[in-house]
């Protein structure tokens, strides 16, 4: 759904490029994925840039390509200094450095200050070992410098908005849109889950930006670059109700014709029932919420704190405000069964979000759950740790059965939504959902996945 919906700006690079400029260097941002560029185009761009430093980021599913890209930069110019950051290398820096000579430095944790200091020290011929938040090789040893504390103030980060090729970024579900992103806070607190790693990365911290400066930034991006759709990229933007309502009031008072996409928790929506109309008036048109359970048999293992009734109540409140909803459901724990998958689909239909994601339980190698489920892991290629491809083989299901189950959940859920979408009374939601459904059902990726589900069913029927 994410890639079908639009092309998303690399917000982290906007701040990191600003940090590079702050170190006195000239910076450039190259978003090869959004441009649909493969390695021949990447090689051409690297050769033309003649860059002294090449930096990229990685989650688990992109770590292989991140290393391959830095390896390519080294082959083009062995003197290029390569830098890698992001969630996966922050936790797995030893594995990355031991597996590849293409990575010179890994930025561990929050990157802007560390990146700026690293570039300044390298330019000045200093010793990177004096910089907190780094991992790198020195001879046969790996140096891991002391942890860098999180920034206390987020509003003063330099942002290189001018380096974004804005024409590349659109939100496909809203015509004539230009898609941007904004971070209103960092961190994830009070959200215990052995599956999610955000709280682990942010060490149970949460820091918020000033609502007035956030409103200024949105207005600047709208007036300067004509950005009219914004992803609020935070894990938890609504944690502080007073701050959040102030932000909504500021947007309402400025009257910007913008659309906001966000995620939050069901209990915050219930808390904000009396101001949910402000969400919509301020421009919020899409809210994604987390669902507590992967089925009764695995609820305790996943350990999330919200319940089904809470999720249903929150979704109903959002629907009443004319806002599009999304909810995600996890399938494929070691105890997964065909009956459990059926219950998950029944739950999705009962909760009735406008959009549903059915994700494969994915044991990130640094997540708390990884060691507990290790014996059930059948896929060790990190590129498949993407929430779409099954990684775990349940005790009572095969990997193929899991893949078929995921595809069938999508097919049955969305086929059951067609009449509802066509008869929606809210004009905006109806147009939005009809466009989204058309793009979703016409996606080559989705058609391939649904084809696997259908062919798999036929194969199993013949085998019987």
The token pair at 393 is 């083989």
Q: Say yes or no to pLDDT of 333 above 70.
A: yes
Which of 35-39, 195-199, 269-273, 350-354 shows the lowest mean pLDDT across its residues?
195-199
- Please report where in the chains the tokens 């009396």 appear, as a residue: 274
**pLDDT band at 291, cuts 50/70/90?**
confident
Q: What is the mean pLDDT of residues 82-87?
A: 96
Given a cut of 80, is residue 188 above it in pLDDT? no
Percent of the chain with pLDDT strictly greater than 70: 90
Ranges 12-21, 97-106, 150-159, 218-227: which has the least confidence: 150-159
Least confident stretch, 79-93, 317-331, 363-377, 432-446: 432-446
- For residues 36-64, give the mean pLDDT: 96
Task: Output the pLDDT for position 296.
Answer: 45
- The more confident residue out of 307 and 237 is 237
- Residue 459 pLDDT greater than 80, yes or no: no
Q: Does the structure show a pLDDT above 90 at 134?
A: yes
Residue 302 clears pLDDT 50, i.e. is over it: no
Give 455's pLDDT tier (boundaries 50, 70, 90).
low
- Residue pLDDT, tens place only, 254-282: 999 999 999 999 999 999 999 999 999 99
Task: Tell me the average pLDDT across 11-27.
Answer: 96
Q: Which H helix or E strand runs over 100? A: none
């Amino acid at each position: 759904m994410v890639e079908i919906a639009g092309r998303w700006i690399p917000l982290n690079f906007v701040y990191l490029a600003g940090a590079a400029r702050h170190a006195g260097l000239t910076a450039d941002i190259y978003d090869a994925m959004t441009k649909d560029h493969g390695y021949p185009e990447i090689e051409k761009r690297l050769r033309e840039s003649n860059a002294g430093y090449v930096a990229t980021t990685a989650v688990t599913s992109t770590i292989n390509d991140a290393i391959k890209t830095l390896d390519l930069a080294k082959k083009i110019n062995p003197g290029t200094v390569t830098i890698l950051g992001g969630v996966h290398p922050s936790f797995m820096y030893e594995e990355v450095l031991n597996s590849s000579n293409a990575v010179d430095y890994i930025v561990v944790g929050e990157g802007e200050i560390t990146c700026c200091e690293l570039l300044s020290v390298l330019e000045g011929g200093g010793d990177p070992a004096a910089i907190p938040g780094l991992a790198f090789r020195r001879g046969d040893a790996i140096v891991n410098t002391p942890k860098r504390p999180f920034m206390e103030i987020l509003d003063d980060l330099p942002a290189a908005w001018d380096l974004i090729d804005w024409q590349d970024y659109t939100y496909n579900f809203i015509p004539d849109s230009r898609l941007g992103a904004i971070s209103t806070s960092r961190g994830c607190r009070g959200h215990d889950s052995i599956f999610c790693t955000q709280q682990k990365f942010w060490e149970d911290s949460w820091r918020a930006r000033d609502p007035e400066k956030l409103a200024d930034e949105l207005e600047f991006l709208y007036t300067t670059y004509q950005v009219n759709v914004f992803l609020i990229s935070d894990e938890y933007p609504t944690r502080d109700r007073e701050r959040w309502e102030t932000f909504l009031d500021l947007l309402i008072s400025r009257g910007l014709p913008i659309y906001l996409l966000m995620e939050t928790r069901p209990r915050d929506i219930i808390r904000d029932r009396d101001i949910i109309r402000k969400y919509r008036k301020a421009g919020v048109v899409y809210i994604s919420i987390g669902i507590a359970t992967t089925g009764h048999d695995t609820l305790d293992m996943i350990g999330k704190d919200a319940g089904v009734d809470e999720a249903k109540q929150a979704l109903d409140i959002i629907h009443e405000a004319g806002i599009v909803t999304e909810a995600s459901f996890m399938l494929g724990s070691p105890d997964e069964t065909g009956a459990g998958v059926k219950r998950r689909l029944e739950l999705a239909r009962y909760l009735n979000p406008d959009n549903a994601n059915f994700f494969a339980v994915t044991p990130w190698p640094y997540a708390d759950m990884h060691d507990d489920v290790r014996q059930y892991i059948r896929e060790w290629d990190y590129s498949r740790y993407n929430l779409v491809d099954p990684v775990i083989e349940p005790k009572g299901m095969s990997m193929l059965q899991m893949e078929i189950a995921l595809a069938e959940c999508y097919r049955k859920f969305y086929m059951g939504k067609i009449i509802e979408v066509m008869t929606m009374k809210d004009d905006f939601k109806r147009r939005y959902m009809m466009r989204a459904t058309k793009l979703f059902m016409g996606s080559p990726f989705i058609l391939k996945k649904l084809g696997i589900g259908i062919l798999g069913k036929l194969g199993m029927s013949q085998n019987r």
